[in-house]
Amino acid sequence: MTQWTFSWTALLVAAQRLPQAIRVARQALQNDPLNDRLCGLLYRLQGQSSAVQARQVLTRFAEVLRSEGYCEEEVAELIAGITTEPCPEHRTLSSLSLRL
């Protein structure tokens, strides 16, 4: 499911359909709320249109992690990983679609 989400959102972004890409990523994260890769994808997609909404993605993810018993150090580490590393799958697929 995760790889499909990355592929599909990359195609949607390449087709200039960012709102649809955000919906796909949001739905995938709802189905797998502890998946930091999906959270990172949604964070980056939201960030293309709104820094506030991107920050809300991280806030919600941190809340989910805490509710699942993650300690603050783990939450901070996961959030830092999302905000500092670009998503390699999405970057690769986006660059491929731009060459078509």
User: Over the stretch 24-50, which tens digit does the pLDDT of each residue have?
Assistant: 999 999 999 999 999 999 999 999 999
pTM of this structure: 0.83
| pLDDT class of 100 with cuts at 50, 70, 90 | very low
Per-domain residue ranges for the chain? 2-99
pLDDT digits (tens, 9 = 90+) for 64-86: 999 999 999 999 999 999 999 66
Residue 70 CB partners (closer than 8 Å, separation 6+) = 78
